[in-house]
A and B are shown apart, each in its own frame.
Chain A
Amino acid sequence: MICGQLVMVGYTNLHRSVALMIASLLVGLAQLAVAADPVADAIDFESAVQPILQRACLRCHGPEKQKADFRVDLRQSALHGGESYAPNIVPGKGDESPLIKFISGTGDLVMPPEGDRLTAAEISTLRLWIDQGAKWPDALAGEVKDKRDWWSLRPLPTADSIKLRNVRRPSIDAFIQDKLEASNLKLVPEATRLSLIRRVYFDLIGLPPTPEEVQAFVADPATNAYELLVDRLLDSPRFGERWARHWIDAAHFAETHGNDQDRIRENAWPYRDYLIQSLNADKPYARFVQEQVAGDVLFPDDPQATIALGFLAAGPWDESSLRDIREDTLDRQIARYLDRDDMIANVINNVTSLTVQCARCHDHKFDPISQADYYALQAVFSGVERANRAYDPDPAVGVKRRNLTVRRGQLQQKGPTLLAELLAPAIQEQVADWERRLGSQGAVWRPLDPESFLSSDGATLTKLSDGSVLSGGTRPERDTITIIAPITLPKVTAVKLEVLTDDSLPHRGPGRQDNGNLHLSEFEIFVDGSDVPLALVNPRADFDQQDWGIARAIDKVEPTAWGIYPQVGRTHAAVFELREPLVSTAATKLKIVLKQRHGGGHLIGRARLMISDAAPPVRLDVLPEPIAAILATSSEQRSDQQRIDLALFQQTEDVERQISQLPIPSRVYSAAADFEPDGGLRPPPGPRPIHVLHRGDINHPRDAAVPGTLGCVVGLKSRFEINATAPESERRAALARWLTDSQNALTWRSIVNRVWHHHFGRGLVGTLNDFGHMGEVPTHPELLDWLAIEFRDQGQSLKQLHRIIVTSATYRQTASVNPEAAVADPDNRLLSRMNRTRLDAECVRDAVLQVSGRLNLRMGGPSDRQFDLQPGIHVTPKVDYTKFNLDSDLGRRRSIYRFLFRTLPDPFMETLDCPSGDQITPTRTNSVTVQQALALWNDVFIARHCEHIASRIQNESAANQLRQQVARASALILCRTATEAELDALVAYAEKHGLANACRLLLNSNEFLFVN
């Protein structure tokens, strides 16, 4: 379905409206007569009908607003449009037309809802007009314009077809000069080398040049000294650290969830390192995009390509709604749609510069993006959640794990080929080997069959067919369950407690607490009416909640207990050995007491007990009874089915053992279909069904959506042909291919414009993430297209793109305003000079560190937490930036390695406009505020580093050489030699107040904070 490709241009001409309103008054009077006569002459649309519609309806159903997707200024919409009642006009049937019902107050709605109602005469005019067939002349149908006829959606031209007025060979400067000349302007002279080196250093690597680097460059006699400098900077690992941050802003990456449960994402940082490495390696852009959308499936043997999926999960996540509240609530469903909305926006806004999220509630008002397109994108991401995804940093291990996982899948599916294979000699030989090695370890867990079970506090207990006891009914605060069962083994060495899932339990249990948890305070076993419990030793569980280990269930201290959170929704088991094996007779009975005295309804939802006679130490995973039974049969006497069952068991155990022996996989917080369940967050069963939501409302699902993308890119299919049973990753792979198709002009224009913005402070298109009708149009469309084509066709090297930009004469101009340009081009849209830019937060902080001599250039790894971290009242930890020890090693690395706490960002960085990661931020604001002045003047980071800078300089120079020291401070901070007059003033100040205070002035100076 392709919708919304037509934009309709109605009559908005003011004079015309006024004229029509006057006409309507006159006609209104005339209609009084007409209304009285049902067989009147044909109603004329233009003179009689249109004026009424214009007066009464146009305000909400016209060019300004299109309430309910209905407008009366366009024939197409008036006759066919409308969300809930279309068609609102039924030709020939005035009384049946919803429009007539609404204006006459006899329908579901009353129109207009505010202001004067239509007169009886007006109503009958409209009714009659409809009765007569609702004839609407073509000439007044309203202009219909194809929304796809728009600069950003047009295919990229061929390089040859881009025309320039005066030059033969296209280049950045040629395009810029072309436009300047048209305004009688020209490029201003090249900036001094002093300006140039500071500009290009901050721009490419985000650090200032050292005084020595400045000196060397200024003195370099080579004519290509600048080009060589640019090459050095692009080769520097600092380059990736600088430019990764621009992508992080756009991707709204941070390392906590945000929202009310702002939990730390311990494994988010690998994505940041991926960005730095990819940019330093100059990965071709198509690959860079593909990896971040579907790297796991497109490049399965490259671990970096899986880490890249951190992009999809970079934004905030609503833990309360997506993990903790009940699965069966509408809030959960709403949150899932909103969560995917964030992924969609992250991909489409940042890669194609279209604002697709506007189509969540209705077809995009301005751009050719239909609601169906939007929900097709929802379907692309319907099989993933945000979670910690396992990956193997060593590709060889990755391959091995993948093969083993495939094998495990085959063993689980038990297909005919596999079953045949299991009987083959090769496998049977392995089974025999295994059986020999197994020796006497085979043991049985035998379920107890409860003959009585009792809740002390009023829960309703039910015995299920597998011998388990399910707790239901009223959920008491606390409970003690007593189970009595006969013993069916002659000897008992251990008892196993299984806590099982059940659909009746919150989060499927196994506990009854709202979050699925349970707390077992004490586990006690009595024999045959004895009131002395058996001594239990060596307790083990398959999982222990932190600080709620299984040993607490037999420590005879009621307030302590065993718990399983957050691993809810899964079966767990605990084993207790009897200190003295119990020898029993057929009449022996066990009484097992499960004390659950913690309170708050932390109760076991479903429990099953088993006993074993295996020799200690008894493993949790001793052989199940059927396998033990097969082993008890001599191998010659086993049936084929038994051989198969045994082989299946052995092969499965073997695969599991091999998997468990692989190095522990690393984890990255990313989009994932398969991951360790965490509370109520569980891997989706497959792609979830997605529906087009009428008005974005979860209560009004309409058509089922199929995976796909936007229909507005000419030449590319908008719906993916993917089998419904295919894994979800196929959907993302299809989207990744669409995004990076050479015909997708949006992608290529978007990236070159983004890079341009970060060099000039303004894109060729000012709205980086909106190339739609609401965005700006390019100032230099030919240049944009030429850059896009060159970039796309010449290896998609971002470094090459940077190189041609920063070596252009346009970039190398001075930042001084020339008088003619100030008048002809006040905003410098034509680039008749370089823009003066303010240092961003990272540049300020990194420069201060470098100047102080404390900058540690160690790359990568977990982020530096530059705050004191304490457990919070609930999930969100307590973060205090003022308690951070600035002198510690965690305070010395580049800002890209800071830990990014979403709901509580570093206040110093925030005053310098560093975004929090709540929103996609393609461009930063660059504010000048009182808070910023206070921060630079008084913040402890600046104050402490003034002391570090001063002591560095004092250590490096002879004592009592204050003038040289001040000069050195100026050279380090301002990247130039101070004048004698400047030195006089600063030295006089430093003599009185010390060198550190002089450094404080320099760091607060406009010259430091701005780059010419």
Chain B
Amino acid sequence: MSTPAINVGTPRRDFLSSIAGGFGSVALANLLGQTQSLADQPRPEFNGGLHHPAKVRRVIQLFMNGGASQMDLFDYKPELFRRAGEKFDPGTSERVEAATSAPGNVLKPPFELHQKGQCGRWISDLLPHLGNHVDDMAFLMAMKSRTNVHGPGSYLMNTGFLLPGFPSLGAWVSYGLGSLTDNLPTFVVLPDARGLPYNQKGNFASGFLPVTHQGTIINSSQAEPIADLKAPASATFITLDADRDGLALLQQMNRTHLAANDHDSRLEARIRSYELAAKMQLSAPEAFDVTRESEATQKSYGLDEKPTEDFGKRCLLARRLIERGVRFVQVWSGAGGPSNNWDNHNSIVKELAPMCQATDKPIAALLMDLKQRGLLEDTLVLWNTEFGRMPFSQGSEGRDHNGGSFVGWMVGAGVKGGTSYGESDPWAWRAVRDVTTNYDFHATVLHLLGIDHERLSMKNNGANRRLTDVHGHVVHAVLA
């Protein structure tokens, strides 16, 4: 029993919500966590941004779980072909070490890369569909992590901290900007059908932000894709009529109670929460139903083929959700564990190729679809992973983790297509020029959303915590 009378937000809002009496919708929305809880409010003249005009209003983040191999996919390094099989010697004083294995010899990418588009971006033959979109993409070619381990690495890329318990990017966006619709959750996560990623829900938790900002998991492969949207099938006593009549009586009881209890704003917020829940119950099933899409659309995402079916379905679902006002959708490729993801320790040939096959066509279809529908005008698409892989082999044909250099890209509103920022060393081992970090990446995403990353903060355990910790620079070079 630990509720202060007033529990949310700033002194101003405390004041608003603490006076007995009726309340404006702002205070209620705040209590419900629908809009953010800062002194800063999204402003219409900023296109919904907090601190400056927003180019982007919604985000789809595609996360390649496991550490996608930069040199096999995008970061073409002739040196790896020239020196293939030789002992890896970067010619610097830095010690060569790997997280889970003894460093092997230089391993050349087993699949060829070719230059595509006007921009001449190198891209693997494993990604033929994505190759058609490189002129829309802005690449961070020299990203650097602080770790070579999945758990901390995934936390870092998602929450800005190596340790558990911090809010994820999607949670911060939800907290900062609030929702665009009453009908659906603000931050939605679409995990791989095979399971949750490393750190499970830790990667999309709300940390010390109110729990309403955490990612809502939608299991598109299951009969009940979202928890508690309707009464359980086992509860046969709950009929549709019982539901409808019950809600009406409950609200009546709660209003009587409210009048007798100082018109406490939290009591009022609870009444409102049931109204919103009812709206969500009506809208969500339609939003989740990808079979309402034309056959041609479903086909373009690869829903008719086994390898692309799961990821394609989730990309299509992401578009439907974004279209209906979900603010942030995170689509995961690969579950946790040692296989069926981008953590290709044993064999690049056998393990990377199927991941590319599963995602290449769906992502390309998503980009095309968003563009055709005009959604790219205010939507940002992100492609990320927690770190890269080593230029030398693990075993005979796999690669170990490498936080020293990796690649991410973005497409959409405010992004300068066809750019590549940053460069790694001749081995793609270490980022060396125009190096970017998770902090820079997050600062840039927030910037596009109209948020100054240094001003989106929450006080917790003695510190003003930010997504970007005490770091981060907006990477203007990739912005239009």
Contact = CB atoms under 8 A, between A and B. Distances in A.
Interface of A: 199, 202-203, 246, 252, 258-262, 316, 318-321, 324-326, 328-331, 334-335, 338, 342, 345, 349, 354-355, 357-358, 475, 477, 506, 514-515, 600-601, 757-762, 767, 769-770, 772, 774-775, 815-817, 822, 826-828, 835-840, 843, 872-874, 876, 878, 882, 902-905, 907, 910-911, 913, 916, 918-935, 937-940, 943-944, 946-947, 982, 985-986, 989, 992-994, 996-997, 1000-1001, 1004-1007, 1009-1012
Given A320-B151, A903-B199, A931-B216, A1000 B238 contact: yes
Contact of B277 (A328, A838, A937): A937
Interface in B132-188: 146-152, 154-155, 162-166, 185
A822 B15 CA distance: 10
Contacts of B266: 836, 838, 926, 928, 1010
A-B interface, 8 closest residue pairs, ranked by CB to CB distance from nearest: A355-B462, A873-B337, A919-B165, A918-B165, A259-B151, A260-B198, A874-B337, A903-B200
6 contacts: A262-B199, A320-B151, A926-B4, A985-B249, A1001-B253, A1006-B271
B237 A993 contact: yes
A316 B276 contact: no
Contacts of A943: 231-232, 234-235, 238
B195 A355 contact: no
Interface string B222-259: 00100111111011011101100111011011100110
A918 B202 contact: yes
A323 to B, nearest CB: 11
Given A321-B149, A329-B97, A929-B33, 12 more contacts: A260-B154, A325-B99, A355-B463, A514-B102, A762-B5, A873-B340, A916-B205, A927-B212, A928-B33, A993-B239, A1005-B250, A1011-B1
A355 B461 contact: yes
Contacts, number: 343
Contacts of B423: none
Contacts of B198: 259-260
Nearest to B195: A873
A358 B463 contact: yes
B100 interface: yes
Contact of A326 (B1, B97, B214): B97
A838 B1 CA distance: 6
Contacts of B459: 774
A506 B201 CA distance: 32
B188 to A, nearest CB: 12
B200 A876 contact: yes
Contact of A836 (B33, B261, B464): B261
A814 to B, nearest CB: 10
Contacts of A261: 151
B148 A329 contact: yes
B270 A1006 contact: yes
A761 B7 CA distance: 9
A927 B211 CA distance: 7
Interface residues of B, number: 106
A838 B232 CA distance: 26
B276 A933 contact: yes
Contacts of B258: 1006
B19 interface: yes
Nearest to B272: A928
Contacts of A357: 461
A919 B339 contact: no
Contacts of A1005: 250, 253-254, 257
A980 to B, nearest CB: 14
Nearest to B97: A329
Contacts of B151: 258-261, 318-321
Contacts of B205: 916, 918
A992 B245 contact: yes
A916 B203 CA distance: 13
Contacts of B33: 927-929
Interface of B: 1-8, 14-15, 18-20, 31-33, 97-102, 146-152, 154-155, 162-166, 185, 194-196, 198-202, 205, 207-208, 210-212, 214, 216, 224, 227-232, 234-235, 237-239, 241-242, 245-247, 249-250, 252-254, 257-258, 261-262, 264, 266-267, 269-271, 273-274, 276-277, 280-281, 335-340, 346, 395-396, 459-464
B152 A924 contact: no
A843 B3 CA distance: 13
A827 B462 contact: no
Contacts of B338: 873-874
Contact of A928 (B31, B163, B228, B241): B31
Contacts of B280: 930, 934
A506 B102 contact: yes
Contact of A762 (B4, B100, B237, B463): B4
A937 B274 contact: yes
B237 A932 contact: no
B336 A260 contact: yes
Contacts of B228: 931, 934-935, 937-939
A997 B7 contact: no
B450 to A, nearest CB: 21
A963 B283 CA distance: 37
B462 A767 contact: yes
A326 B261 contact: no
Given A828-B5, A935-B228, A938-B229, A919 B164 contact: yes
A989 B148 contact: no
A356 B228 CA distance: 41
A994 B242 CA distance: 9
A761 B5 CA distance: 7
Contact of A930 (B20, B32, B100, B241): B32
Given A920-B461, A925-B211, A938-B228, A826 B2 contact: no
